Amino acid sequence: MCDIFDAVPKADMASMEHPIFSLSTKPDTRVREYEHNGIKIAIKPSVDGLATVHDRDVLIYCISQLMTALNEGREVSQVVRFRAFDMLVATNRNTAGSGYSQLKAALERLAGTRISTNIVTGGKEIFRTFGLIESAEVVRETRDGRMQEVEIKLSDWVFNAIRSKEVLTLHRDYFRLRKPLERRIYELARKHCGAQKEWRISLALLQKKCGSNSTPREFRRLVMNIVREDREHDHMPDYAISYDEQEDMVTFSNRQGVKMVLPPAVAPHLDPDVYETARMLAPGFDVYYLEREWRSWLPETPRNPEAAFLGFCRKWVQNRKNTV
């Protein structure tokens, strides 16, 4: 059950790298084939069309919830349930009746879009056809037709990426970008520029990675509009975007919102017997409070969690004696 209200937005790296989702706001029923650096992808739509960049919000919401739960040491499942209202609010969507209708349509396109690829996720190379989600079900529905709870089963491909933590954090303002091309360009910048000072890419390759079906001339016009708006309003999250007409190159510059961070130290659950020893070492102290303090202080994941925790308890008591 998705119940983490402040989960940080995260997306899987494979679909940030490759043009899985359609940029079209109208039903896109063309079969898309993409090949780059040995990766081959065929994306096939259902009669409802390909899943769109905005449909991706559902996956981002689920990935964000599951990653937060994993980081808290909780068990996660490939089947997730969430309140439709929570998802709509978290992704800056309309919560009126049309928002729920759009969510239903998104679920149908996500389940109907089939992918054949040799992308590696979780150390496994998958050569088969699969959907972005395996199934979706409205668990509860109000009398006026609005969804209350939705249950979906993520594909093995997406779930493997989650379990292997092959995900990246997105800026919360990602959901404020309304143009599909702006979102796609941000995803590519987040994936390739990351915490670097800047990243450059030719306009032709950018178009290929975006999966845009526009003519090169029209794509250049669309990108230049985004560049112009960003220059005037700084509306693109994390990265400033510029275009060199002479070299036909697009440059993304880090606004310093994305910094290189080390993964948080995570200690597994402690053996129950260690708490008795901790009580003897720190008489009068709440050992569970000490455990929380220890976990928040950890500079790195310890090789022997029990010994590390007991050492922390000794230091805690000694420091308190020295201040008395």
Lowest pLDDT segment from 36-40, 85-89, 107-111: 36-40
d(CA 64, CA 57): 10
- Token digits for 323? 């201040």
Helix (H) or strand (E) holding 191: helix 180-192
Inter-axis angle of helices 203-210 and 180-192, nearest 10: 110
pLDDT the model gives residue 151: 95
For the cut 80, the answer to whether the pLDDT of residue 113 exceeds it is yes
Residue 47: CB partners within 8 Å, gap ≥ 6?
29, 112
Of residues 270 and 161, more confidence is placed in: 161
Distance CA 113, CA 133 (A): 9
The pLDDT tens digits for 56-68 are 999 999 999 999 8
Given a cut of 50, whether residue 261 has pLDDT beyond it is: no
Q: Which residues in the chain belong to E strands, given as ranges?
A: 10-12, 32-36, 39-44, 79-83, 114-117, 120-121, 124-125, 128-131, 133-141, 147-154, 167-169, 198-202, 239-244, 249-254
d(CA 101, CA 97): 7
Share of the chain above pLDDT 70, in %: 91
Radius of gyration of the chain (CA): 23
pLDDT tens digits for 175-215?
Answer: 999 999 999 999 999 999 988 999 999 999 999 999 999 99
pLDDT of 189 reads 96
pLDDT of 262 reads: 45
Q: With 50 as the cut, is the pLDDT of residue 324 above it?
A: no
Dihedral, 188, 86, 110, 64 alpha carbons, nearest 10: 40
User: Which two structure tokens, joined as six digits, stand for 143?
Assistant: 């009398």
Beta carbons of 10 and 69 less than 8 angstroms apart: no
Q: Is the predicted pLDDT of residue 120 greater than 70, yes or no?
A: no
Does residue 48 register a pLDDT over 80? yes
Please tell me the distance from the alpha carbon of residue 124 to that of residue 127, in angstroms, as a whole number.
10
Q: Place 118 in a pLDDT band, splitting at 50, 70 and 90.
A: confident
Q: Could you tell me how many residues make up the chain?
A: 324
Residues 109, 111, 114, 116: what is their CA dihedral angle, to the nearest 10 degrees?
A: 130
Beta bridge partners of 131: 114
